[in-house]
Amino acid sequence: MYEKNGFTAARIGGGEGHARGCGMEIGSLGYRTDLFFSGYRGTVTDRGDYSVILTKSNPGYYWGNFILFKEGPRAGDLEKWKAVFDREIKTRIEARHYAFGWDAIGEGMWEVGQFIDDGFNVNRSIVLTAAEVAKPRNFNEAIEVRRLGDDAEWEQATRGQIECREPCHDLGSYSAFQKEKMDGYRDMADSGLGAWFGAFLGGELVANLGIYVSGGVGRFQDVVTDEAFRNRGICGSLVYAASMYALRELEAKVLVMVADEDYHAAKIYERLGFCPTERQYGMDWWEDKRKPG
């Protein structure tokens, strides 16, 4: 077993494409890059056939407090997996949720029905990658894209993230979760590990995202556009500008974007040159059916 804090603990090993521990090699590019962030504000503990991701500073962060299993669920795993979560996470933080992922990059014959019957959501995401990007045809020349600077801009970005939350997210708990999460992103940016970008129109922040790089791999985080400013080419323009910064200034060799499988924005990313590479799977359950994150 090992336990490490810090961004470098979650780096992708050079050339081999695996995050190595004592017993678990993570093949999923989506989860490997997720651990960039979990390892910075929290801990990633290798137990051999599963890893424990724990962010004590943000107990409402479901995907900062979860169990990543080596194999997908099989018949009878519901109670086993919940027992692991209870032992590894609920004894250390006040968690009102369960969250599980498994290390897979494609379709599989997994027994998820038992979890669905117990009230779990099954999350299917698409992992897109690009080694270079193309400027979008509808690039919005009216916006100004720049890295966030002072407290006021970071506060604007945080408000934008909160306002763009899904309807199932409770405002109060989601706000606390997102503010803590954005504090972590700012710390990482201040440490030179990446940057948070905003798209400004007439001085107003209308879209924002993060891009962070480790081991030559850049991972995007939390791409949002204010609802009133969508369908104007702003999202694609922002992603393009941030991509160019990561490739040129942060020396990224490959860029990674993870999106919900049915989310329309995936098509925007593909038009920039991102290609579907893998699938990523997970399941979550929350106590009051209004998840904070």
Q: Is the pLDDT of residue 12 over 60?
A: no
Instruction: Round the CA-based radius of gyration of the chain to a whole number and report it.
Output: 18
Instruction: Please give the pLDDT value at position 289.
Output: 61
Determine the average pLDDT of the residues in 48-61. 94
Instruction: Answer yes or no: do 148 and 227 share one domain.
Output: yes
Neighbours of 170 (CB within 10 A): 17
* DSSP secondary structure letters along 65-101: SEEEESS---TTHHHHHHHHHIIIIITTS---EEEEE
Q: Sorting pLDDT into bands at 50, 70 and 90, what band is 265?
A: confident
Instruction: Answer yes or no: do 255 and 142 share one domain.
Output: yes
Structure tokens at 214: 């480790």
Q: Sorting pLDDT into bands at 50, 70 and 90, what band is 19?
A: very low
Q: Is the pLDDT of residue 11 over 90?
A: no
Determine the average pLDDT of the residues in 76-93. 98
SS3 content of the chain, % helix, strand, coil (to 5): 35, 30, 35
Give the position of tokens 């399941």. 283
DSSP state of 145: E
- Which long-range CB contacts under 8 A does 189-196 form with residues at least 24 apart? 189/147, 189/148, 191/7, 193/7, 193/40, 194/218, 194/246, 194/250, 195/147, 195/148, 195/242, 195/245, 195/250, 196/147, 196/148, 196/154, 196/157
Instruction: Answer yes or no: do 173 and 82 share one domain.
Output: no
Instruction: Please give the pLDDT value at position 23.
Output: 58
Residue 208 domain-assigned (yes or no) = yes
Q: Is the pLDDT of residue 91 over 70?
A: yes
How far apart, in whole angstroms, are the C-alpha atoms of residue 252 and residue 275? 17
Residue 241 domain-assigned (yes or no) = yes
Instruction: Please give the pLDDT value at position 266.
Output: 84
Q: Sorting pLDDT into bands at 50, 70 and 90, what band is 14?
A: very low
* Mean pLDDT for the chain overall: 88
Which helix (H) or strand (E) is 15 found in, with range? none
How far apart, in whole angstroms, are the C-alpha atoms of residue 29 and residue 42? 20
Structure tokens at 193: 């590990």
Residue 24 domain-assigned (yes or no) = yes
Instruction: Answer yes or no: do 121 and 142 share one domain.
Output: no
How far apart, in whole angstroms, are the C-alpha atoms of residue 19 and residue 27? 8
Task: Quote the number of domains for the chain.
Answer: 2
Q: Tens of pLDDT along 166-224?
A: 877 788 888 888 999 999 999 999 999 999 999 999 999 999 999 999 999 999 999 99
Q: Which residue has the higher pLDDT, 9 or 159?
A: 159
Structural domain containing residue 242: 130-278
Instruction: Answer yes or no: do 155 and 239 share one domain.
Output: yes
Q: Is the pLDDT of residue 52 over 90?
A: yes
Residue 157 domain-assigned (yes or no) = yes
Q: Is the pLDDT of residue 15 over 90?
A: no
Residue 115 domain-assigned (yes or no) = yes
How far apart, in whole angstroms, are the C-alpha atoms of residue 129 and residue 142? 27
- Helix, strand or coil, per DSSP, at residue 63: helix
Determine the average pLDDT of the residues in 44-62. 94
Is the distance from CB of 56 to CB of 93 less than 8 angstroms?
yes
Q: What is the CATH classification number for the domain harbouring 192?
A: 3.40.630.30
Residue 149 domain-assigned (yes or no) = yes
Instruction: Please give the pLDDT value at position 7.
Output: 28
Q: Tens of pLDDT along 103-142?
A: 988 778 899 999 999 999 999 999 999 999 999 999 999 9
pTM tops 0.85, yes or no: yes
Instruction: Answer yes or no: do 86 and 171 share one domain.
Output: no
Is the distance from CB of 95 to CB of 129 less than 8 angstroms?
no
Instruction: Answer yes or no: do 109 and 38 share one domain.
Output: yes
How far apart, in whole angstroms, are the C-alpha atoms of residue 119 and residue 142? 45
Q: Is the pLDDT of residue 75 over 90?
A: yes
